[in-house]
A and B are shown apart, each in its own frame.
Chain A
Amino acid sequence: MTSAIQMVDITKTFPGVTANDNIDFSVDKAEIHGLLGENGAGKSVLMSILYGLYKPDSGDILVDGEKVDISGPSDAMRLGIGMVHQHFMLVPSLTVVENVILGREPTVNGVTLDMERMLRDVAESCKRYKLDVDIEAPVYQLPVGVQQRVEILKALYRGADVLILDEPTSVLTPGETEELFNAVRELKADGKTVIFISHKLREVLAICDRITVLKRGKVVGTVLAAETGEGQLAEMMVGRKIVYEFTKEAECGLEPVLRLEGLECLSDRGIPALRGLDLDLCGSEILGVAGVEGNGQTELVEAVMGLRELTGGSVKLDGQDITDTQPKTRIQMGVSHIPEDRHKRAIVPDFSVLENLVLGSQRDRFTRNGVSIDFAEAKRFSTDMINDYQIATPGPETLIRYLSGGNQQRVVVAREFSRDPPVVIAAQPTRGLDVGATEYVRRKLVEMRDHGAGVLLISADLDEIWALSDRVAVIYEGSIVAVKAVDETDVQEIGLLMAGGGNE
């Protein structure tokens, strides 16, 4: 049987890094092939080469046994290779149909768009692969899970036989993930080949036929999913055993460190996002906020940090009303924030590691006579942080954009936790991180708790909430519908509450 895709001896280096080091990788026809590895292992680079976004320094690519030259996405598409990127490549204001046909528009007379045919074709694909999408809606109105289906439709419309899914589940809720898996199985049944990039062991095991593990730009091995397990894969990825379980010893104290009362605010689209949300966060606890994405989690974090205007309610820190204070004041008072959107809110990509570490304290801790920044002190501090938090960077002067996602997050965590805050707001703190970095960030959160801080953990990953939290609050349609001690509830109950059901 010839392979659908064969990548032979691929090497790709970037300044200072060998992203792919003599990689051999092959995928059979109608196979779901997992590509597993930590962030920075070279998965995305390898697939970008296959999709023509990067040119390899050396190596060959064979499609259906024939050597091909892929110098751009259009070549890849012509060869039947489609890619669904981690960050969706959709134009928000265009409709689903317009996004799908963009670049390959059917016309009536060579000039005018053939609207009828567009709608018919896309609706047909939806039906055939059981992808449920409102094809005439503008994309910005759609939830993330549906946008992903649009991306898949796009690739299929372009005649993809091989579909590369780059970290497809990192943005999905458990329910959406299940739907995605069903669609992927449907694709396989139809003879399509799927390459599934992920760092989530369980998912790769659940959906893939074979799994290739990458580590630091090299292939560790390819295994049959049926003949391996989480333990073996994790070891292959990291090179050592991984421990996930943490102790849950903290008890809720007397006075909450953070008290949210009747929070109300609007979303970006101007509809109520928080509807009278009440929540108490105690010292020395991790309070997990579970909920299906889009139920007000983002707005909750912004409300606590002073990044979103409230239409009602109050925020109290240690009994002191901080509702009308600036974000700056809140940070100075000891509320630290790990934002969910790392690139937008947590780091300045074009600043150095040092600058990112100092950001926010430049006015007080690293100032000389209140005017200039004390760079000597900042450098000492950042060198310490790089050591303490094991940030893999060539040095403090390196631009943070060149670090992997996991190391960027270490910088954020280092910056926030070095202030020794009594309150930590951690929004999706491990999203998109590899196993090693995830473990690290989680351990730090637990450390902060043991140190006496109250940690509000907002996560779409129920496993994470389960592994870390002392108490779980369920958010649904902008308010907290239940708060349970972890050892007095179970996943089924929380799941039901998240779906808005069964509140006795």
Chain B
Amino acid sequence: MVELLDLINTGLFAAAIRMATPIAYAALGGMFSERVGVMNIGLEGIMLTSAFGGVAVSYYTGSAWLGVVAAVLVGGLLGLFHAIITVKYAGDQVVSGTGINILAAGFTAYMSQVIWGTRGSSDAVNSIPDLTIPVLKQIPVLGEVFGTHSPLVYLMPIITAASYYVLFKTPLGLRIRAVGEHPTAAETAGVDVVKIKYMCIILSGMLAGIGGAFLSLSHLNVFNKGMTGGRGFIAMAAMIFGKWMPFSVFGASLLFGFADALQMRLQSLGILPPQIILAIPYVLTVAILAGVVGKAKPPSDYKPYEKE
């Protein structure tokens, strides 16, 4: 019991924030896509491919930041792919997303083999160093939780706030909300529905890409096969739990991040079989999706939009 209580310390919360970050990026990405009426099941695969792309570029250039840029580009490219299939050809969103996930798993494993001669894990590469916020770090408790993190962690709330601002305070956001809910209405009002959809789905991929880069270039400094471990799907759960609202989505991601962090610490105690402990974040996902958000209403009906 004492051991269990020992777990609850500033280190746990710092880890929760860290683990929440990739989920939150992908979840916000998913939100933008769903806001324009396209489900992005491919978040998982996009994160994974971006995580790989980031490491590969960092490996060849030696620059972690170039790796992040590459990850964002890779994400955007996969977003574009998803958009072409679902918007231009009105293809099935689930099939396209699943396709991206399968492609990502195979492609990254294969390319790891090609580049590093192993399917399991890449060589270690240059990663993004953590940032310490000088004044914040001095404050007791808060300093330990928030004081030292990857720059990508600090970027997260900024992007959340920016997302909120764009969605609810700008003409673009108004159009995004209109396009998802009633594309025909938006079109007749003179909004370029297709353009907005492309934009948001590409953005969705780019945000998931940052999430992937965080995993491989910040949290770790290698690419591991299947290293996203279902975080793309957890991100979808966080997006739904957060009801497609930026701050709520961020909050939900923190909750899932906390479960992830807790799980890692419980493992070190060895009081339960690791398989059961590992399952905690996933059980939480299922529980939340099944129960709490049973009635969450998406902002769109996921139908392809076809001009009359």
Residue positions of A touching B, CB distance < 8 A: 53-54, 73-74, 77, 83, 85, 88-94, 98-99, 101-105, 107, 111-113, 154, 158
Report, as a range, how many residues of chain B touch the other chain: 10 to 19
Q: Which 3 A-B pairs have the closest CB atoms?
A: A105-B171, A103-B189, A103-B190
B residues near A90, Cβ cutoff 8 Å: 182, 185
A residues near B186, Cβ cutoff 8 Å: 91, 102-103
* Chain B residue at smallest Cβ distance from A107: B171
Question: Is B39 interfacial (CB-CB < 8 Å)?
Answer: no
Q: Do the beta carbons of A113 and B190 come within 8 Å of each other?
A: no
Contact of A94 with B174 at beta-carbon distance under 8 Å, contacts A73-B190, A77-B190, A103-B191 already known: yes
B residues near A91, Cβ cutoff 8 Å: 177-178, 181-182, 185-186
Q: Which of A91, A93, A105, A113 has the largest number of chain B CB atoms within 10 A?
A: A91
Further contacts, 4 of them, CB under 8 A, given A102-B178, A102-B185, A158-B190: A94-B177, A102-B186, A103-B190, A113-B170
Question: Is B268 interfacial (CB-CB < 8 Å)?
Answer: no
Give residues of chain B (183-210) contacting chain A, Cβ–Cβ below 8 Å: 184-191
User: How far is A103 from B193 in the complex, measured between Cα atoms in Å?
Assistant: 11
Question: Is B175 interfacial (CB-CB < 8 Å)?
Answer: yes
The residue that A102 contacts in the complex, of B170, B184, B191, B308, with Cβ under 8 A, is B191
A residues near B188, Cβ cutoff 8 Å: 73, 83, 85, 89
User: How far is A90 from B178 in the complex, measured between Cα atoms in Å?
Assistant: 9
User: How far is A107 from B170 in the complex, measured between Cα atoms in Å?
Assistant: 8
The residue that B177 contacts in the complex, of A93, A154, A158, with Cβ under 8 A, is A93
* Chain B residue at smallest Cβ distance from A74: B190
A residues near B184, Cβ cutoff 8 Å: 89
Question: Is B88 interfacial (CB-CB < 8 Å)?
Answer: no
Q: Do the beta carbons of A89 and B185 come within 8 Å of each other?
A: yes
Q: Which of B170, B175, B186, B190 has the largest number of chain A CB atoms within 10 A?
A: B190
Contact of A92 with B169 at beta-carbon distance under 8 Å, contacts A77-B190, A102-B174 already known: no
The residue that A111 contacts in the complex, of B170, B178, B190, B191, with Cβ under 8 A, is B170
The residue that A105 contacts in the complex, of B174, B177, B182, B308, with Cβ under 8 A, is B174
User: How far is A105 from B177 in the complex, measured between Cα atoms in Å?
Assistant: 14
Question: Is B299 interfacial (CB-CB < 8 Å)?
Answer: yes
Q: Which of B169, B174, B308 has the largest number of chain A CB atoms within 10 A?
A: B174
Contact of A89 with B177 at beta-carbon distance under 8 Å, contacts A111-B170, A113-B169, A113-B171 already known: no
A residues near B170, Cβ cutoff 8 Å: 107, 111-113
A residues near B185, Cβ cutoff 8 Å: 88-91, 99, 102
A residues near B171, Cβ cutoff 8 Å: 105, 107, 113
User: How far is A103 from B190 in the complex, measured between Cα atoms in Å?
Assistant: 5
User: How far is A342 from B191 in the complex, measured between Cα atoms in Å?
Assistant: 29
Q: Do the beta carbons of B308 and A93 come within 8 Å of each other?
A: no
A residues near B169, Cβ cutoff 8 Å: 112-113
User: How far is A409 from B174 in the complex, measured between Cα atoms in Å?
Assistant: 38
Contact of A94 with B178 at beta-carbon distance under 8 Å, contacts A111-B170, A112-B170 already known: yes
Pairs across A and B, CB under 8 Å, 14 listed? A83-B188, A85-B188, A88-B185, A89-B182, A90-B182, A90-B185, A91-B186, A94-B181, A102-B174, A102-B178, A102-B185, A103-B191, A104-B189, A107-B171
Q: Do the beta carbons of A103 and B175 come within 8 Å of each other?
A: yes
B residues near A74, Cβ cutoff 8 Å: 190
User: How far is A6 from B177 in the complex, measured between Cα atoms in Å?
Assistant: 37
* Chain B residue at smallest Cβ distance from A100: B189
Shortest CB–CB separation between residue B139 and chain A, in angstroms?
A: 34
A residues near B189, Cβ cutoff 8 Å: 89, 99, 102-104, 154
Contact of A53 with B308 at beta-carbon distance under 8 Å, contacts A103-B189, A104-B190, A112-B170 already known: yes
The residue that B299 contacts in the complex, of A53, A54, A93, A112, with Cβ under 8 A, is A93
A residues near B182, Cβ cutoff 8 Å: 89-92
User: How far is A75 from B171 in the complex, measured between Cα atoms in Å?
Assistant: 21
* Chain A residue at smallest Cβ distance from B180: A91
User: How far is A314 from B307 in the complex, measured between Cα atoms in Å?
Assistant: 46
- Beta-carbon contacts of B79-107 to A below 8 Å, as 1s and 0s? 00000000000000000000000000000
User: How far is A458 from B123 in the complex, measured between Cα atoms in Å?
Assistant: 74
B residues near A73, Cβ cutoff 8 Å: 187-188, 190
B residues near A113, Cβ cutoff 8 Å: 169-171, 174
Contact of A98 with B174 at beta-carbon distance under 8 Å, contacts A89-B182, A91-B185, A93-B181 already known: yes
A residues near B175, Cβ cutoff 8 Å: 102-103
User: How far is A102 from B308 in the complex, measured between Cα atoms in Å?
Assistant: 20
B residues near A88, Cβ cutoff 8 Å: 185
Give residues of chain B (14-51) contacting chain A, Cβ–Cβ below 8 Å: none
